[in-house]
A and B are shown apart, each in its own frame.
Chain A
Amino acid sequence: MKICITAQGSTLDARAEERFGRAPYFMIIDTETGSAEAIENQFAGATGGVGPKSAQLLIDRKVTALVSGMVGGNAREALKAAGISMFTYRAGGSVKDALEQFTGSKLERSG
């Protein structure tokens, strides 16, 4: 499956980012192949609508689960409508750590 982990940098060692819509990077990871792609969030500084824009990015890449710290109202609505599950990671560790927690089913599902 393809998942997205919000990140502060473009590598697996980068710190995981708690915010969804304004995350600096989206790490798209294929849990089967292990491949990871870092996408810079071009909407991070926009005045509004960042939630739906970020959700659209995930929808276009056929992501089925999101690992993040906080998801706003509009983003939540868009992700829910698209059937993308939401998991909460707030331990402050790296993207790699968040990935391990996710695959180990240690994260709480929030949507």
Chain B
Amino acid sequence: MKIAVASGKGGTGKTMVAANLALVVSQSCEVTLVDCDVEEPNLHLFFGGAAATTDVTVPVPVFDLQSCDKCGKCGGFCQYGAITVLPDRILFFPELCHSCGGCTLVCPKGAIHEEPARIGQVTIVHPSPWLTLITGTLDEGKPHATPVIRAAKDMSRDAGIVICDASPGTACPVVETLDGCDACILVTESTPFGLHDLHLAAEVADRLGVPSGVVINRSDGQDKKTLEFCATHELPVLMTIPFDRMTATIQNRGGLISRQSPEWQGRFAELFARCHNLIRGSQ
């Protein structure tokens, strides 16, 4: 079972929900938490332990200028403008390359081969016997998050229960994170901005065929517009977390509310049960 935690608007509390949910679930069964916000991962701030790290690489072309006759077929094929063929050499733009391998196939002289180039890393930590945290981190300056997200998710492929913490927004990294998940928890806040972006995120999850439910975070009890939206779009409200200074304090100190309070433990256990229902209901 794979559950994604996404939002649309940033800062709504995805990590808070994902971390607490994983912690509570890990008290009764094995669960793997994957930090798919590879441009700014933060789950590791809440969970400690010895880390094992692996490089994430993507294949990039290497040109053999001896065999190359500057025919220009590689540059002509490249959809991304990564190859410029000059009269005397080849100019390659690594940040434009999408590692499709097409240039190596179209070269009539076999003058191009691929070599791995590092773009980030994946780290595995075991904070407790039944909890595994996989963190994907994209190297600074590298433009493509999706291969790192894919590598992080791949490391969880044998796990029974997986919770993926997505990045904010609705772009390629979020699509990559949601892809293949059985359910999506959309964390929102009851502000016009939050609602606007919730709408976008709900649409993405819908297009990908991933059933979703909503968690309203930092609620001030005035959630009418958000509740109306959820009702109209048939999105079950899975949980409402009230705005509370103590919650924020615990979170900001790297703590988790479900560690501190049996009441929150119970509520996140209920959230997990509701995710089960969401998945069952969609089948």
What CA separation (Å) do A51 and B86 show in the bound complex? 15
Whether B96 lies near A52 (C-beta < 8 A) is: yes
Q: Which chain B residues numbered 229 to 271 have a C-beta less than 8 Å away from chain A?
A: none
Closest to B143 in A: A48
CB atoms of A77 and B72 under 8 A apart: no
Q: Tell whether, in the assembled complex, residue B93 and residue A56 are in contact, meaning their CB atoms are under 8 Å apart.
A: no
With an 8 A cutoff between CB atoms, is A32 at the interface?
no
**How far, in whole Å, are A56 and B79 apart by their CA atoms in the complex?**
13
Q: Are B85 and A59 touching (Cβ within 8 A)?
A: yes
The reply to whether the CB of A49 lies closer than 8 angstroms to some CB of chain B is yes
Main secondary structure of the interface of A (DSSP, over half): helix
Q: Is the CB of A81 within 8 A of B96?
A: no
Q: Is the CB of B86 within 8 A of A59?
A: yes
A 17-52 contacts with B by CB, 8 A: 43, 46, 48-52
Give the Cβ gap from B244 to chain A, nearest Cβ, in Å.
Answer: 43
Q: Do the beta carbons of B81 and A74 come within 8 Å of each other?
A: yes
Do A52 and B85 form a contact, CB below 8 Å, given A74-B96, A78-B91, A81-B91? no
Q: A48-B96, A49-B93, A52-B91 are in contact. Are A78 and B84 (CB under 8 A)?
A: yes
| Interchain CB contact (< 8 A) of A56 among B80, B85, B89, B96 | B85
CA distance A74 to B95 in the complex (A): 10
| B residues whose Cβ falls under 8 Å from a Cβ of A | 72, 75, 78-87, 89, 91, 93, 96
10 residue pairs A–B, Cβ–Cβ below 8 Å: A48-B80, A49-B79, A49-B93, A52-B96, A56-B72, A56-B75, A56-B81, A74-B81, A74-B93, A74-B96
Chain A residues with a Cβ under 8 A of chain B = 43, 46, 48-53, 55-56, 59-60, 74, 77-78, 81-82
